[in-house]
Structure 1
Amino acid sequence: MTEVRITHVGGPTTLVEAAGWRLLTDPTFDPPGRRYGFGLGTSSRKLTGPAVDLDALGPIDAVLLTHDHHADNLDDAGRELLSTVDEIVTTESGARRLGGRARGLRPWQALTLSRPGRPAVEVTATPCRHGPPLSHPLVGDVIGFALTWPGQRHGALWFTGDTVLYGGVREVAARIDVGTAVLHLGGVRFPITGPVRYSMTGRDAVELCELVRPQIAIPVHYEGWSHFADPRPEVERAFASAPAPVRAAVRWLPIGTSVEISV
């Protein structure tokens, strides 16, 4: 299973199709226009809708949910989708809130997705800090996901989750052989908290890629919301001045179009 089909639906929402598996990250399918609160006076307006309608998505085997408590990672339509999915993997606190089929992981904990006739997929939770030091009461628990299965040629398929660049994320370079990194970017900022950022910028992505050295680096979660302060043009500028191996690894996915990559 070396060829994987990936569809960037929009925001953090990404469909992964491989050897019979259909895995979806952070389902967000609400229409644009609404403003959502994120706690302690922070909020953001959704500017664009999903590039793939929920009705056209098809069946999903499992949802990998980096966190359940921010609407730009799980909105109302995404919550409705969860009721149709057999397996949901998320944070421990998120699993308690969601109940039912949700399974919670803490950083560096792993579980295995298995179905008859398909290769088993090991899901390892990776650390995230969705803001500056001491911001946990505001931002809550978040994790990323590293996916491994037999036959991968280049290494794990890693979704960073919503995080700033800090020691926990850097630790991934020492603990996981990453072949493809799906980078949650956008450099989130809110007027009420000034210059503080709550997710990685393009510059952070360059530094992380220098450490992790993925074969492919895919930016996501940089568009579609008013709280992104580091949108695609800024990320492109950061990558343009990056070392050659990083520049060569970057692959922008056309939103809504399925693209095959080799893992």
Structure 2
Amino acid sequence: MKRITIDPSQSGPPTKEITYVPLERAEAKETKLHPRNAEGGENASLFFVGTATTILEWEGIRILTDPNFLHKGDHVHLGPGVTGTRQTNPAIDLEQLPRIDAILLSHYHADHFDQEVEAKLSKSIPIITTPHAHSCLTSKGDDSFTQVHAVDHWEDVLLDLHTNKIQGGRKPAIRVAGMPGKHVPPGPLSIANDLLSAVPPTNGWMVELGYQNAKEGDNFDSGYRIYITGDTLMVDELKEIPKRYTGRNIDLMLIHLGGTTIPGPKLPLLMVTMDANQGIQLMELVDPDLTVPIHYDDYDVFMSPLEDFKKAVEEAGWTEKVVYLDRKDEFKFKVNSQLNTIERAA
């Protein structure tokens, strides 16, 4: 397994802006807990910035997902002849980010890594992403990002945290595995896209917060497991996820919804992310303990609003299995640190 050393004490500001003034952390508008079994002792949080952009924080480590900080009225390029217009503002601006230790980038698309992010983000920040995005981000000459790590489907990487928080010879660590995803449905369109490279390949992620031996750096134990779907449709490849994680609970699923259409809802020729119905199908397939929908209303290319998903969740009787976050809301949860009862990852 590939290892990346993360040292929060050495992490600089996430942007190159001289005027950058770091926040201690993003201040939440509302904090939400598990609707069924919030027992106190929550030690981790997920802050929703907007679209697929979140900040995951645990043990002093902050991971940023799919950074998109454009504002209402700004445009992104989504493929040949296809653009999207942002309909909302992010919870915080790019220059207001707290210290970020690593980025998870599901794919190289402007609504997940916008032009402002690409220009202003520190070139040395660690980025975990697809092989395709790796090639794009590291081939820009002097403007290349210097710590990009390619992780394909079913490959994994361990974030080895440089920390003094050692208990019983164990220290915090984070394991990230690439999950399958398809932005274009199988068939002739997928074959054409492979030739034209119009829509980039995408990853989902399985993020495991846990502990490992402080000295040897092995025997990783998972204390909380988060599945981030990335921009995918409900495709057969996803059926492999519950098979591979049999007996290993998925605590949280961040599901990318919206029913993104190309070129747009007025001419919906192709849907490239899950709509409400596919979202329900994935909940049934993966069976996470809790689901948080993201990526559902920030651009004008979304055809399936969040209300459709809420209705489908209610009809399925799963209301207490979903937490809804507005921009600037956070979800707090507890990572199991009882090493004698932690579920050992296979």
TM-score, structure 1 as length reference: 0.91
- 1:183 corresponds in structure 2 to 255
Offset, 1:57: 1.7
- 2:155 corresponds in structure 1 to 109
2:183 and 2:273 in contact (8 A); partners too: yes
Offset, 1:219: 0.1
Offset, 1:81: 5.0
Amino acid paired to 1:92: P
For residues 101 and 214 of structure 1, the distance between their equivalents in structure 2, rounded to whole angstroms, comes to 32
For residues 237 and 35 of structure 1, the distance between their equivalents in structure 2, rounded to whole angstroms, comes to 30
Aligned in 2, Cα 1:29/1:85: closer, same or farther, shift over 3 Å? farther
Offset, 1:158: 1.1
1:63 and 1:82 in contact (8 A); partners too: no
- 2:18 corresponds in structure 1 to none
1:187-232 deviations in Å (ceiling 9; x for gaps):
0112476342100011111111111111110000001100000011
Amino acid paired to 1:164: L
Aligned in 2, Cα 1:112/1:86: closer, same or farther, shift over 3 Å? same
Offset, 1:155: 4.6
1:43 and 1:190 in contact (8 A); partners too: no
3-state secondary structure, aligned to 1:207: helix
2:85 to 45, 49, 54: 45
For residues 251 and 157 of structure 1, the distance between their equivalents in structure 2, rounded to whole angstroms, comes to 14
For residues 242 and 151 of structure 2, the distance between their equivalents in structure 1, rounded to whole angstroms, comes to 20
Aligned residues: 260
Matches within 5 A, 1:135-150: 135-136=193-194, 137-150=197-210
User: Which of 187-196 and 18-27 deviates more?
Assistant: 187-196
1:91 aligns with 2:130: yes
2:182 and 2:235 in contact (8 A); partners too: yes
1:180 and 1:216 in contact (8 A); partners too: yes
3-state secondary structure, aligned to 1:119: strand
- 2:70 corresponds in structure 1 to 30
Aligned in 2, Cα 1:41/1:249: closer, same or farther, shift over 3 Å? same
Offset, 1:150: 2.1
- 2:303 corresponds in structure 1 to 229
Higher Cα Rg, which structure: 2
1:213 to 287, 299, 310: 287
1:255 to 312, 327, 330: 327
- 1:169 corresponds in structure 2 to 238
1:151-174 deviations in Å (ceiling 9; x for gaps):
688751111000001011222121
**Unpaired segments of 5 or more residues in structure 2?**
1-40, 139-145, 164-170, 212-220, 336-346
Aligned in 2, Cα 1:81/1:248: closer, same or farther, shift over 3 Å? farther
- 1:6 corresponds in structure 2 to 46
Identity, in percent, stands at: 29
1:130 to 169, 177, 183: 183
**Unpaired segments of 5 or more residues in structure 1?**
none
3-state secondary structure, aligned to 1:150: strand
For residues 8 and 132 of structure 1, the distance between their equivalents in structure 2, rounded to whole angstroms, comes to 28
